[in-house]
Amino acid sequence: MTTSTGKLNQDALEQIATAARILNKGGVVAFPTETVYGLGADVTNEAAIRKIYEIKRRPENHPLIVHIGDMTQLEYWAQEIPQSALKLAEYFWPGPLTLILKRSKHVPNSVTGGQDTVGIRIPAHPVALALLDAIGPEKALAAPSANLYGRISPTSAAHVQTVLNKKVDMILDGGTCEIGLESTILGFERENVSMLRPGGIPVTAIELVINKPVQLKKNQSSEIRVSGSLPSHYAPATPLKLYPADKIFQEAQRLSKQDVRLVIITWSGIDLSSFDSSNVRHVRMPQDPINYGKHLYAKLHQYDDKTFDYILMESPPELPDWLAINDRLQRASYTQT
């Protein structure tokens, strides 16, 4: 959709104008962001918001993120915004950061799941920003990731098409998502910042900007309000098993004796050539967290196609910059291990 200079071409602008008309009439449009594809609807149109929940088969008490086009809209949708939140927004927006703030009267209950807070972000993707501009200054897009509830988020238009094609009014194709993992979600208690979901922005970068530690909220399994915090989430349909390098070899050996079809996804350079057979595929991931994160969901989508009985994954390093990746893989493997 973009030209070599990164500008949107004429065809893209026309498609975005069509998408904006559909949204302003209460339709649902899948659109690209820098993190994952979103399933968007006009925040203030309750019928359109209901469609999102129906399409995703998502419980109605799971709130949606409100996507805005620029900073001036922040105080229209939120109030009593802490200084640290403003500082983070100014530093990281447009970008993969969602702030949970006290909602204003403009945000309907259907979007917040009845809570008095609202999640807000400005996405950093030219198509998303042009779309937000095209729907008009008083509007915003409520958008969860454009996947079925509990499944892997889409990082390309093709991923959305496979699952939601006939259910949405339009899919805007903006190429492959640059980040590939969902936004980091932060909550605020006065000026205290806590991380509700690790994501595209590492915690170390956030701490540098606010100059104090971020509280890590682990194991929120008893709370339902952040759906991505439930233990089993972001999961492929094929059982996914997570093992450290020394165990993955043994497990591959055990399973390959049972004549099952395996895909083994590693990152460390471990030698699995002895498993070369038509039943076993070995896939190598990048060794740095940025590129690993960018390709993770695409790989899971690719191999979650009934060709394999198991996905065996090498556990990534337990380091701060790998936090979001470890979080998603633990949830993806939860029910199988």
For ligand TXA, the closer CB: 1 or 39 = 39
Q: Tell me the closest approach of the beta carbon of residue 271 to ligand TXA, in angstroms.
A: 36
When the beta carbons of 129 and 196 are compared against ligand TXA, the nearer one is 196
Sign of CA dihedral 323, 328, 331, 333: negative
Residue 99 C-beta: closest distance to ligand TXA, Å: 10
| 242: nearest Cα among 322, 176, 320 | 322
Nearest-angstrom CA–CA distance, 236 and 159? 13
Decide whether 52 or 313 has the Cβ nearer to ligand TXA.
52
Min CB(56)–ligand TXA separation in Å: 8
Question: Which of Mg ion, ligand TXA, none does residue 156 bind (CB under 5 to 8 Å by kind)?
Answer: none
Question: Is the Cβ of residue 18 or residue 326 nearer to Mg ion in the bound state?
Answer: 326
Binding-site ranges for Mg ion (CB under 5 A): 145
Residue 102, amino acid: K
Instruction: With CA atoms as reference, report the closest residue to 17 among 122, 135, 129.
Output: 135
Based on CB atoms, which residue is closest to Mg ion, 12 or 233?
233
Within a 10 A sphere around the Cβ of 284, how many other Cβ atoms? 14
The listed partner (Mg ion, ligand TXA, none) that binds 15, CB under 5 to 8 Å by sort, is none
Binding residues for ligand TXA, rule: CB under 6 A, are 33, 35-36, 38, 62-65, 96, 98, 100, 112, 115, 117-119, 123, 143-145, 182-183, 185, 196, 225-228
User: Taking the complex as a whole, how short is the minimal distance between the CB of residue 144 and Mg ion, in angstroms?
Assistant: 5
Question: Cα 203 to chain center, whole Å?
Answer: 16
